[in-house]
């Protein structure tokens, strides 16, 4: 899933965004559900409104599923970079791997437990309105069903389907992560456990892909069949990527951020004049950005060359750096020196800046860890002849 997502909100301090591909799925769900509701509710506006509500509530349940992972991860000391909705659902982007099989199991199981709770609650609501024997009919929006019952029944059915898919024992699905946690616990080797779970993931990817093609071209279910085939392709690619990533993390296991950082970072004082910052830092070092600190070396944020370029030249001598800094840099691009080095591999700072700012518990800037330094640490050791 490449590219940067569009932020929608922050829930429990966790960023929730949508990838552009999500809008394709949103449109398809609304279109199909509008046709589905049209049979029971002849008013086109009402059918469209119900379809839109169903789609948005479904994605809300996906966000809750990912928040289940995220909240448990944070409680176990794993930072969450954010949650993104995209073409095939949602993903919680964790700052690093789980430190133990127990944590891996708890984080993996949290999402399906939330989804199960949502499905049960929606089923109970629909059953209370139309009776248990008519819940499935309500999900199909047969004539005579109330609008609320139809939405609740649809959410119950779609969340059960989501639960079943997520519990397939193939990595990187939640079921595969649970399998990895168990294999890790039994073998004591995370890399080996990842390979076991990824092998199952690839096996299920072939099954889903073949089943999808069968449904699409032999049973006439073109859209659902192709969708299943796409999920199979994604599952197989993700399983292969997981094995590659496990080999990478194995090389840096035990290394901390402090072990590879530049302990003498070049930083700009917040009270420095803009003309001085431009001459003594940007024109001298030719870097596109610098960390900004106060008099006690506490990190304030980032200053970028374009921010200075936006200031009229006559004003450069009369304004200071702390007036133009990016305040989000003090949070989004920082990392603790004692964090495992693997925690920076997929961090936002590495993606956007090519570096992370290393700070201590008091917020003092202690160093900078760059993509180049991480790459050196990832290189296999050269054997000595």
- Where do the domains of the chain lie? 6-251, 257-378
Peptide bond into 359 cis (omega under 30): no
- Lowest mean pLDDT, pick from 22-31, 40-49, 348-357: 348-357
Instruction: Count other C-beta atoms under 10 Å from residue 12's C-beta.
Output: 10
Structure tokens at 359: 């700070």
Does residue 158 register a pLDDT over 90? yes
Least confident of 22-31, 32-41, 122-131, 331-340: 331-340
Q: Is pLDDT at 1 greater than 60 in this prediction?
A: no
pLDDT above 90 as % of the chain:
25
Q: Residue 42: how many CA atoms within 13 Å on its side-chain side?
A: 1
384 pLDDT above the threshold of 60: no
Q: In the CATH hierarchy, which top-level class contains the domain 257-378?
A: alpha beta
What pLDDT band is residue 383 in, cutting at 50, 70 and 90?
very low
pLDDT of residue 327: 58
- Residue among 355, 358, 359, 353 at smallest CA distance from 371: 355
223-260 per-position pLDDT tens digit: 778 888 888 888 888 888 877 777 777 677 778 888 88
What are the pLDDT digits (tens) for 209-224? 999 898 888 887 777 7
On the question of pLDDT at 69 being above 90, the answer is: yes
- pLDDT for residue 120: 96
Least confident of 142-146, 154-158, 289-293: 142-146
Whether the per-residue pLDDT at 338 is higher than 90: the answer is no
Known active-site residue 338? no
H and E: helices and strands count for the chain: 15, 10
Q: How confident is the model at residue 330 (pLDDT cuts 50, 70, 90)?
A: low
Contacts of 25-33 with CB under 8 Å at 24 or more apart are 25/87, 26/55, 26/59, 28/223, 29/54, 29/55, 29/58, 30/55, 33/154
Q: Which of 66, 97, 339, 348 is catalytic?
A: 66
So what's the pLDDT on residue 340?
78
């Amino acid at each position: 899933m490449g590219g940067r997502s569009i932020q929608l909100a922050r829930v429990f301090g966790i960023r929730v965004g949508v990838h552009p591909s999500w809008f394709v799925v949103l449109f398809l769900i609304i279109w199909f559900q509008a046709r589905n509701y049209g049979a029971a509710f002849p008013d086109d506006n009402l059918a469209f409104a119900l379809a839109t509500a169903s789609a948005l509530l479904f994605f809300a349940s996906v966000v809750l599923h990912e928040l289940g992972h995220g909240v448990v991860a944070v409680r176990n000391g794993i930072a969450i970079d954010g949650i993104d909705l995209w073409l095939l659902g949602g993903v919680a982007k964790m700052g690093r791997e789980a430190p133990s099989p127990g944590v891996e199991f708890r984080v993996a199981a949290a999402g399906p437990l939330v989804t199960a709770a949502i499905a049960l609650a929606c089923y109970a609501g629909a059953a209370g309105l139309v009776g248990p024997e008519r819940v499935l009919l309500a999900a199909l929006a047969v004539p005579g069903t109330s609008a609320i019952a139809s939405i609740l029944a649809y959410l119950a059915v779609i969340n059960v389907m989501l639960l079943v898919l997520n519990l397939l024992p193939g990595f990187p699905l939640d079921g595969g992560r649970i399998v990895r946690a168990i294999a890790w616990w039994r073998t004591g080797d995370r890399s080996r456990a990842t390979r076991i779970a990824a092998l199952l993931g690839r096996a299920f990817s072939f099954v889903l892909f073949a089943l999808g093609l069968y449904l699409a071209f032999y049973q006439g279910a073109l859209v659902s069949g192709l969708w299943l085939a796409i999920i199979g392709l994604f599952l197989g690619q993700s399983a292969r990527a997981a094995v590659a990533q496990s080999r990478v993390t194995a090389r840096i296991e035990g290394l901390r951020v402090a072990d590879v950082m530049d302990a003498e970072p070049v930083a700009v004082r917040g009270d420095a004049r803009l003309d001085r910052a431009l001459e003594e830092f940007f024109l001298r070092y030719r870097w596109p950005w610098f960390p900004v600190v106060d008099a006690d070396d506490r990190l304030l944020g980032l200053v970028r060359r374009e921010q200075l370029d936006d200031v009229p030249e006559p004003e450069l001598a009369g304004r200071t750096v702390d007036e133009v800094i990016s305040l989000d840099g003090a949070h989004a691009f920082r990392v603790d020196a004692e964090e495992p080095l693997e925690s920076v591999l997929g961090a936002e700072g590495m993606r956007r800046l090519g570096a992370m700012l290393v700070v201590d518990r008091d917020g003092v800037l202690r160093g900078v860890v760059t993509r180049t330094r991480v790459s050196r640490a990832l290189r296999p050791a050269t054997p000595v002849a």
